Amino acid sequence: MDLGLANKHVLITGASRGIGKAIAKQFLDEGAYVSIVGRTMTSLEQAKSDLGNIDIYQVDVTNEEERAQLMHQFLSKNGKIDVLVNNAGGSSGGTVLQTDLSQFYEAFDSNYFPAVHLSKIAAEEMVKKKSGSIINIASIYGRESGGLVTYNNAKAALISFTKSLADEVIHQGVNVNSIAPGSVYHKQGVWEKRMDERPEQIKEFIAQEIPAGRFGTPEEIAQAVVFLASNKASWIAGACVTVDGGQSKSNI
Protein backbone atom coordinates (compact mmCIF):
# COMPACT_ATOMS: atom_id res chain seq x y z
CA MET A 1 0.00 0.00 0.00
CA ASP A 2 1.35 3.41 -0.96
CA LEU A 3 0.83 5.64 2.07
CA GLY A 4 1.67 8.82 0.19
CA LEU A 5 4.54 9.76 2.52
CA ALA A 6 7.22 10.18 -0.14
CA ASN A 7 9.06 13.51 0.17
CA LYS A 8 7.38 14.34 3.49
CA HIS A 9 9.58 16.04 6.08
CA VAL A 10 9.55 14.00 9.29
CA LEU A 11 11.03 14.76 12.72
CA ILE A 12 11.28 11.98 15.33
CA THR A 13 12.50 12.41 18.91
CA GLY A 14 14.09 9.61 20.93
CA ALA A 15 15.06 7.93 17.68
CA SER A 16 18.65 6.79 17.97
CA ARG A 17 17.59 3.27 18.95
CA GLY A 18 14.62 1.01 19.68
CA ILE A 19 11.13 2.09 18.70
CA GLY A 20 12.21 5.53 17.50
CA LYS A 21 14.87 4.10 15.22
CA ALA A 22 12.39 1.61 13.76
CA ILE A 23 9.97 4.47 13.12
CA ALA A 24 12.70 6.36 11.28
CA LYS A 25 13.43 3.33 9.09
CA GLN A 26 9.76 2.87 8.28
CA PHE A 27 9.44 6.48 7.11
CA LEU A 28 12.63 6.12 5.05
CA ASP A 29 11.14 3.03 3.41
CA GLU A 30 8.12 5.18 2.49
CA GLY A 31 10.39 7.71 0.78
CA ALA A 32 10.22 10.45 3.42
CA TYR A 33 12.97 12.88 4.43
CA VAL A 34 13.76 11.88 8.00
CA SER A 35 15.45 13.73 10.86
CA ILE A 36 16.06 12.06 14.21
CA VAL A 37 16.75 13.49 17.66
CA GLY A 38 18.74 11.97 20.49
CA ARG A 39 20.89 12.88 23.47
CA THR A 40 24.19 11.23 22.58
CA MET A 41 26.12 11.84 19.37
CA THR A 42 27.61 8.34 19.44
CA SER A 43 24.15 6.74 19.27
CA LEU A 44 22.96 9.21 16.65
CA GLU A 45 25.96 8.57 14.43
CA GLN A 46 25.44 4.82 14.76
CA ALA A 47 21.80 5.25 13.76
CA LYS A 48 22.84 7.34 10.77
CA SER A 49 25.34 4.66 9.77
CA ASP A 50 22.64 1.99 10.06
CA LEU A 51 19.82 3.91 8.39
CA GLY A 52 21.60 5.95 5.75
CA ASN A 53 20.19 9.21 4.45
CA ILE A 54 18.93 10.94 7.59
CA ASP A 55 19.69 14.16 9.45
CA ILE A 56 20.64 13.94 13.12
CA TYR A 57 20.17 16.43 15.95
CA GLN A 58 21.84 16.08 19.33
CA VAL A 59 19.32 17.62 21.70
CA ASP A 60 18.27 17.22 25.32
CA VAL A 61 14.53 17.48 24.81
CA THR A 62 13.97 18.08 28.52
CA ASN A 63 15.57 21.51 27.98
CA GLU A 64 13.14 24.14 26.72
CA GLU A 65 15.76 26.27 24.99
CA GLU A 66 17.22 23.28 23.19
CA ARG A 67 13.74 22.25 21.99
CA ALA A 68 13.09 25.71 20.57
CA GLN A 69 16.48 25.72 18.84
CA LEU A 70 15.81 22.26 17.42
CA MET A 71 12.60 23.39 15.76
CA HIS A 72 14.25 26.55 14.47
CA GLN A 73 17.08 24.55 12.90
CA PHE A 74 14.75 21.92 11.45
CA LEU A 75 12.40 24.48 9.89
CA SER A 76 15.28 26.59 8.60
CA LYS A 77 16.71 23.58 6.77
CA ASN A 78 13.51 21.90 5.59
CA GLY A 79 11.16 24.84 5.17
CA LYS A 80 8.27 22.93 6.71
CA ILE A 81 7.36 20.02 8.94
CA ASP A 82 4.90 17.41 7.70
CA VAL A 83 5.13 14.84 10.49
CA LEU A 84 6.25 15.07 14.11
CA VAL A 85 6.68 11.89 16.18
CA ASN A 86 7.22 12.47 19.90
CA ASN A 87 8.89 9.29 21.10
CA ALA A 88 11.39 10.52 23.69
CA GLY A 89 10.71 9.52 27.27
CA GLY A 90 11.77 7.62 30.34
CA SER A 91 11.04 7.40 34.03
CA SER A 92 12.15 6.25 37.44
CA GLY A 93 10.57 5.64 40.84
CA GLY A 94 8.28 3.03 42.31
CA THR A 95 4.97 3.16 44.12
CA VAL A 96 3.42 6.51 45.05
CA LEU A 97 4.65 6.32 48.65
CA GLN A 98 8.13 5.21 47.62
CA THR A 99 8.66 7.90 45.00
CA ASP A 100 10.09 11.36 45.67
CA LEU A 101 8.10 14.29 44.37
CA SER A 102 11.12 15.27 42.26
CA GLN A 103 10.72 12.04 40.28
CA PHE A 104 7.19 13.00 39.32
CA TYR A 105 8.54 16.28 37.95
CA GLU A 106 11.29 14.41 36.11
CA ALA A 107 8.78 12.05 34.50
CA PHE A 108 6.75 14.95 33.15
CA ASP A 109 9.91 16.74 32.05
CA SER A 110 10.89 13.79 29.88
CA ASN A 111 7.55 12.27 28.80
CA TYR A 112 5.08 15.16 28.68
CA PHE A 113 6.47 18.69 28.36
CA PRO A 114 8.78 17.97 25.41
CA ALA A 115 5.84 16.56 23.44
CA VAL A 116 3.60 19.49 24.38
CA HIS A 117 6.20 22.10 23.43
CA LEU A 118 7.29 20.48 20.15
CA SER A 119 3.68 19.71 19.19
CA LYS A 120 2.67 23.32 19.77
CA ILE A 121 5.43 24.66 17.51
CA ALA A 122 4.80 21.99 14.86
CA ALA A 123 1.02 22.49 14.91
CA GLU A 124 1.42 26.23 14.40
CA GLU A 125 3.48 25.54 11.27
CA MET A 126 1.16 22.80 10.03
CA VAL A 127 -1.93 24.98 10.42
CA LYS A 128 -0.37 27.55 8.08
CA LYS A 129 -0.38 25.03 5.23
CA LYS A 130 -3.46 23.16 6.47
CA SER A 131 -1.66 19.84 6.46
CA GLY A 132 0.34 17.70 8.84
CA SER A 133 0.37 14.91 11.36
CA ILE A 134 1.55 14.58 14.95
CA ILE A 135 1.91 11.20 16.65
CA ASN A 136 2.69 10.90 20.35
CA ILE A 137 4.07 7.62 21.66
CA ALA A 138 2.20 6.98 24.91
CA SER A 139 1.77 3.62 26.69
CA ILE A 140 -0.89 1.15 27.70
CA TYR A 141 -0.04 2.20 31.26
CA GLY A 142 -1.30 5.68 30.51
CA ARG A 143 -4.79 4.17 30.84
CA GLU A 144 -4.33 1.70 33.69
CA SER A 145 -2.15 0.97 36.71
CA GLY A 146 1.01 -1.07 36.50
CA GLY A 147 4.68 -0.30 36.19
CA LEU A 148 6.02 3.02 37.50
CA VAL A 149 3.39 5.49 38.68
CA THR A 150 5.46 8.48 37.52
CA TYR A 151 5.58 7.11 33.98
CA ASN A 152 1.89 6.18 34.01
CA ASN A 153 0.84 9.66 35.11
CA ALA A 154 2.91 11.39 32.43
CA LYS A 155 1.63 9.10 29.69
CA ALA A 156 -1.96 9.59 30.84
CA ALA A 157 -1.45 13.34 30.56
CA LEU A 158 0.04 12.86 27.08
CA ILE A 159 -2.99 10.89 25.92
CA SER A 160 -5.27 13.65 27.22
CA PHE A 161 -3.16 16.36 25.57
CA THR A 162 -3.29 14.49 22.27
CA LYS A 163 -7.09 14.51 22.27
CA SER A 164 -7.25 18.20 23.19
CA LEU A 165 -4.85 19.26 20.45
CA ALA A 166 -6.52 16.98 17.90
CA ASP A 167 -9.93 18.56 18.50
CA GLU A 168 -8.39 22.01 18.14
CA VAL A 169 -6.61 21.53 14.81
CA ILE A 170 -8.37 18.75 12.89
CA HIS A 171 -10.62 21.23 11.08
CA GLN A 172 -7.46 23.01 9.91
CA GLY A 173 -6.07 19.93 8.21
CA VAL A 174 -3.79 18.73 11.01
CA ASN A 175 -4.22 15.26 12.45
CA VAL A 176 -3.02 14.34 15.97
CA ASN A 177 -3.08 10.87 17.51
CA SER A 178 -1.21 8.75 20.02
CA ILE A 179 -0.12 5.14 20.17
CA ALA A 180 -0.10 3.04 23.32
CA PRO A 181 2.47 0.27 22.96
CA GLY A 182 2.56 -2.69 25.26
CA SER A 183 5.80 -4.42 26.22
CA VAL A 184 8.25 -4.09 23.33
CA TYR A 185 11.61 -5.87 23.22
CA HIS A 186 14.62 -4.30 21.55
CA LYS A 187 18.38 -4.21 21.97
CA GLN A 188 19.54 -1.98 24.85
CA GLY A 189 15.93 -1.75 26.05
CA VAL A 190 14.56 -2.41 29.51
CA TRP A 191 13.14 -5.82 28.57
CA GLU A 192 16.48 -7.05 27.26
CA LYS A 193 18.04 -6.14 30.60
CA ARG A 194 15.25 -7.83 32.56
CA MET A 195 15.41 -10.94 30.38
CA ASP A 196 19.14 -11.22 30.99
CA GLU A 197 18.72 -10.78 34.75
CA ARG A 198 15.54 -12.83 35.35
CA PRO A 199 14.82 -15.03 32.32
CA GLU A 200 12.38 -17.41 34.02
CA GLN A 201 10.39 -14.58 35.62
CA ILE A 202 10.10 -12.79 32.30
CA LYS A 203 8.97 -15.94 30.52
CA GLU A 204 6.28 -16.31 33.18
CA PHE A 205 5.31 -12.65 32.74
CA ILE A 206 4.86 -13.14 29.01
CA ALA A 207 2.76 -16.29 29.49
CA GLN A 208 0.50 -14.64 32.07
CA GLU A 209 0.26 -11.06 30.81
CA ILE A 210 0.56 -11.05 27.01
CA PRO A 211 -2.09 -13.10 25.20
CA ALA A 212 -0.04 -13.00 22.00
CA GLY A 213 2.61 -15.02 23.83
CA ARG A 214 5.54 -12.76 22.99
CA PHE A 215 6.91 -9.25 23.24
CA GLY A 216 6.11 -6.75 20.56
CA THR A 217 8.75 -5.51 18.15
CA PRO A 218 9.73 -1.91 17.36
CA GLU A 219 8.74 -2.54 13.76
CA GLU A 220 5.15 -3.32 14.78
CA ILE A 221 4.90 0.05 16.52
CA ALA A 222 6.54 1.78 13.56
CA GLN A 223 4.03 0.35 11.10
CA ALA A 224 1.17 1.81 13.13
CA VAL A 225 2.92 5.18 13.26
CA VAL A 226 3.39 5.54 9.51
CA PHE A 227 -0.24 4.59 8.91
CA LEU A 228 -1.46 7.27 11.33
CA ALA A 229 0.85 9.78 9.65
CA SER A 230 -0.71 9.11 6.26
CA ASN A 231 -3.88 10.36 4.60
CA LYS A 232 -5.21 6.81 4.89
CA ALA A 233 -5.88 7.67 8.56
CA SER A 234 -7.57 11.02 7.90
CA TRP A 235 -10.72 10.08 9.86
CA ILE A 236 -8.72 8.97 12.90
CA ALA A 237 -8.29 12.04 15.11
CA GLY A 238 -7.46 12.28 18.80
CA ALA A 239 -7.33 8.51 19.13
CA CYS A 240 -4.99 6.48 21.28
CA VAL A 241 -4.30 3.33 19.26
CA THR A 242 -3.32 0.32 21.34
CA VAL A 243 -0.59 -1.93 19.91
CA ASP A 244 0.07 -4.52 22.58
CA GLY A 245 -0.70 -8.13 21.60
CA GLY A 246 -3.74 -8.06 23.88
CA GLN A 247 -1.72 -7.12 26.98
CA SER A 248 -3.72 -4.16 28.28
CA LYS A 249 -6.52 -4.68 30.77
CA SER A 250 -8.40 -1.47 30.01
CA ASN A 251 -11.75 -1.70 28.22
CA ILE A 252 -11.60 1.94 27.04
Per-residue pLDDT averaged across 47-51, rounded? 97
Q: Are 22 and 221 in contact (CB under 8 A)?
A: yes
Inside any domain, residue 201: no
- Side chain identity, residue 21: K
Between CA 164 and CA 200 the distance in angstroms is: 42
Distance of CA 127 to the CA centre of its chain: 21
Q: In the prediction, which pLDDT does 191 show?
A: 67
Inside any domain, residue 116: yes
With pLDDT > 90 as the criterion, what percentage of the chain qualifies?
A: 80
Inside any domain, residue 63: yes
DSSP letters of the chain?
---S-TT-EEEESS-SSHHHHHHHHHHHHTT-EEEEEES-HHHHHHHHHHH-SEEEEE--TTSHHHHHHHHHHHHHHHS--SEEEE--------STTTS-HHHHHHHHHHHTHHHHHHHHHHHHHHHHHT-EEEEEE--GGGSS--S-HHHHHHHHHHHHHHHHHHHHHGGGTEEEEEEEE--B--TTSHHHHHHHH-HHHHHHHHHHH-TTSS-B-HHHHHHHHHHHHSGGGTT--S-EEEESTT------
Domain CATH for 173 = 3.40.50.720
What is the arrangement of strands in the sheet containing 54-58, beginning at the earlier edge strand? 54-58, 33-38, 9-12, 83-86, 132-137, 174-181, 240-243
Between CA 55 and CA 11 the distance in angstroms is: 9
Tell me the per-residue pLDDT of 194-227, one tens digit each, with 9 for 90 and over.
Answer: 777 787 888 888 888 889 998 999 999 999 999 9
Between CA 178 and CA 54 the distance in angstroms is: 24
Inside any domain, residue 223: yes
Instruction: Return phi, psi of residue 138, to 5°.
Output: -100, -135
Inside any domain, residue 225: yes
Distance of CA 236 to the CA centre of its chain: 17
Degrees, nearest 5: CA angle 199-205-210: 130
Tally the domains of the chain: 1
Tell me the per-residue pLDDT of 155-185, one tens digit each, with 9 for 90 and over.
Answer: 999 999 999 999 999 999 999 999 999 989 8
Range of the domain at 84: 9-181+216-243
Inside any domain, residue 58: yes
Inside any domain, residue 137: yes
Task: Please say if the pLDDT value at position 3 is more than 90.
Answer: yes
Distance of CA 82 to the CA centre of its chain: 16
Inside any domain, residue 31: yes
Assess whether 151 carries a catalytic annotation. yes
How would residue 145 be classed by pLDDT, with cut points 50, 70 and 90?
confident
Q: Which of 33, 112, 141, 151 is catalytic?
A: 151
**Facing residues of 179 across strands?**
137, 241
pTM of the model as a whole? 0.95
